[in-house]
Structure 1
Amino acid sequence: MQYRLLGRSGLAVSELCLGTMTFGNTTSETDSIEMMNRFFEKGGNFLDTANVYVSGRSEEIVGKAIKDRRSEVVLATKVRFATANHPNGVGVSRKHIMDAVEASLKRLDTDYIDLYQVHVWDHATPIEETLRALDDLVTSGKVRYIGCSNFFAWQLMKSLSTSDWNRYVRFISIQPQYSLVSREMDREMLSLCLEENVGIIPWAPLGGGFLTGRYTREEPVSGRLTSKQGESSWAIRASQSNFAVLEAVVKAAKELERTPAQVALSWLLQRKGITSPIFGASTLEQFEDNMGAIGWTMPDSVWNKLDEVSALPSEYPNRFIAKFARPF
């Protein structure tokens, strides 16, 4: 396992981050703890959860697993979605943040969170209020670093400039959906993160299971893609362009004697600007398959083919800017 600095911080995280959304749901507590222990044994140190995963059960299981190795683990969780049935039980107001962090600390059985992330933008709360509350949490020691997730590029830039202007702590990372079949952040977010040195920790790096190679053009009968809604629904994934990407991934996997999941993750690991893809697993077998993405390097020729087949179509203003790019 290799390690990378997260954004412009000195925080070293493993090149893969273990996502825990299935813990306590499709993955039993016993298997969840075993998965984390295997991850630590292989050198992983980065765990991602959220206060709403399985109504907080995920945080409780993570807390049990890391209790005796707390200082070794980089622990990330999130705040934003509803955790109580009253008007202030949702969002990133000062009140909800302060209530939510105390609840997360209790479930995680720890006195600090390494990376506290805003799960999605809150249009009802001024970003100044959110960042001031997060800054206070860092000052108090309950949170070490802050990050965000599912932001537009303008929202991230506004947040960074607000922090700089007010001398608040900055978001050091963003958690966007990003994979070979979901490259929307290439339009603006990726270049912004490279310019501002914001770490990128993608979620759904396998496209909700689409890139594992288990699906064909027929309607799926099992797995996350059977969902009728959400980012991993069949209606979103089952496009002609995505199947072209999948076919290229399967072909590369055969050529490299790897699995499609390992190829899809490896492409991300070698993508400039990506710090640590967040992978999840429902079973120990899936976990071991995903961990096979590390310890080898994809040839440039294969990487370039996957990059080309999955690239977004040429769009304005990118094609206009490229036309008048200076040669130096």
Structure 2
Amino acid sequence: MSRVPTVKLSGGLEICRIINGMWQVSGAHGAVNTAKAVEAMQNYVDAGLTTFDMADIYGPAEEIFGQFNSQLKSTLSGKDIPAVQSLTKYVPRPGPMDRKVVEKALQHSMTRMQVDFLDCVQFHWWDYRDKRYLDALGHLSDLQQEGVIRELALTNFDTQRLEEITNRGIRISSNQVQYSLIDQRPAARMEQFCLANNIQLLTYGTLAGGLLSERYVGKAEPKSRAELDTASLSKYKNVIDSWGGWRLFQELLVALETAARRQGCSVASVATRYVLDRPAVGGVIVGCRLGVAGAGQHISDSVRSCSPDLLLTAEDHSAIEAVTRRSRDLMALIGDCGDEYRS
């Protein structure tokens, strides 16, 4: 097993700085063979990538993790069982947020994941005008004190609400937000607050669904559904359009490819490392290719991106930022982190 750098969250849970994202099994990226997905998880753990990110709304993600977790325990024993960390999300529909509702949701996740407690619950709320998110977080905080949850975290909350929640005495370990070379909104306000309050940023979209890779260098702009055939590609192509368009994106890819050649790594590794090096970023979530061909290179790129000998130089930064500074201001266009999910 490789030594993948880790970060310790405020409640003491140690997680990998490269996190295996399981949104790909939600159904939005095509059919998933559960048995193959469970089998493929072992390849990530063998590479030292032992932290998995999922959600109650990611289709069978929690169940797939549960089957894998159970399989680990049944085939290995004692010290031979590798420590595996599971980060899930609680994404309730609008409605009453009394303790029984919250407890029932967490118990459902624990049953699916085949665990006795939850390593980390990342809470998401759709509508800030409905202040019952504070009720839910109050109950989650109580359940954390009772040992049901180890880490209490957020997903796609903005800086204003993050400050509001923290000021109520609720300890938040991390906030999962979109952060990449294309979307650098967390740098505007959120990073500073997180650094001051021991909150880690766990970032997604860092590779723009795979668009930030050699595959797209010098390629014509994809526009059809056939070319943008996954939820990730479609989503992040829209982000690129807002950011500055395909022509500017090609300039960014050239800068990344040049840096990658200097560093002896892939474009994906450079793009990941750039975000890993940002203040307050604890980890980058990279989508798992569970049961999909080509996962070996994907895993290798992830491990390489956090290697101590991959150090982006001042020349690398200068070339990259010469492109990104010419992009549009997504903070002005979209708003703070997570605002894209709210009207």
Does TM, scored on the shorter chain, surpass 0.5? yes
User: Structure 1 residue 92: deviation in Å?
Assistant: 5.7
Counterpart of 1:322?
none
| Compared CA separation, residues 41 and 223, structure 1 to 2 (3 A) | farther
Q: Answer yes or no: is 1:129 the counterpart of 2:135.
A: yes
Counterpart of 2:181?
180
Q: Answer yes or no: is 1:146 the counterpart of 2:152.
A: yes
Distance in 2, matches of 1:223 and 1:274, equals 34
TM (norm. structure 1) is 0.81
One-letter identity of the residue aligned with 2:256: V
Distance in 2, matches of 1:222 and 1:290, equals 28
Q: Answer yes or no: is 1:13 the counterpart of 2:15.
A: yes
Higher relative contact order by CA 8 Å / sep ≥ 6: 1 or 2? 2
Report the 3-state secondary structure (helix = DSSP H, G, I; strand = E; otherwise coil) of the residue aligned with 1:10. coil
Counterpart of 1:234?
237
Q: Is the 8 A contact 1:227 1:234 kept in 2?
A: no
User: Structure 1 residue 213: deviation in Å?
Assistant: 2.9
User: Structure 1 residue 93: deviation in Å?
Assistant: 5.6
Report the 3-state secondary structure (helix = DSSP H, G, I; strand = E; otherwise coil) of the residue aligned with 1:175. strand
One-letter identity of the residue aligned with 2:140: L
Q: Which runs of no fewer than 5 residues in structure 1 stay unpaired?
A: 318-328
| Compared CA separation, residues 207 and 103, structure 1 to 2 (3 A) | same
User: Structure 1 residue 46: deviation in Å?
Assistant: 1.6
Counterpart of 2:121?
116
Q: 1:1-328 counterparts in 2 under 5 A?
A: 1-6=4-9, 8-23=10-25, 25=27, 26=30, 27-54=32-59, 57-67=60-70, 68=72, 72-82=83-93, 88=95, 94-123=99-128, 124-162=130-168, 164=169, 168=170, 170-215=171-216, 216-220=219-223, 225-226=228-229, 232-238=235-241, 239=245, 240-282=247-289, 283=292, 284-285=295-296, 286-295=298-307, 296-301=309-314, 302-311=316-325
Distance in 1, matches of 2:43 and 2:186, equals 32
One-letter identity of the residue aligned with 1:76: L
TM (norm. structure 2) is 0.78
Q: Is the 8 A contact 2:90 2:123 kept in 1?
A: yes
Provide, for residues 223-249 of structure 1, a one-character-per-residue CA deviation record: whole Å limited to 9, x for no partner: 884568997243332414433322211
User: Structure 1 residue 71: deviation in Å?
Assistant: 8.0
Q: Is the 8 A contact 2:117 2:150 kept in 1?
A: yes
One-letter identity of the residue aligned with 2:188: R
Larger mean CA deviation between 243-252 and 146-155 belongs to 243-252
Distance in 1, matches of 2:126 and 2:12, equals 26
Larger mean CA deviation between 174-183 and 10-19 belongs to 10-19
Identity across aligned pairs (percent)? 23
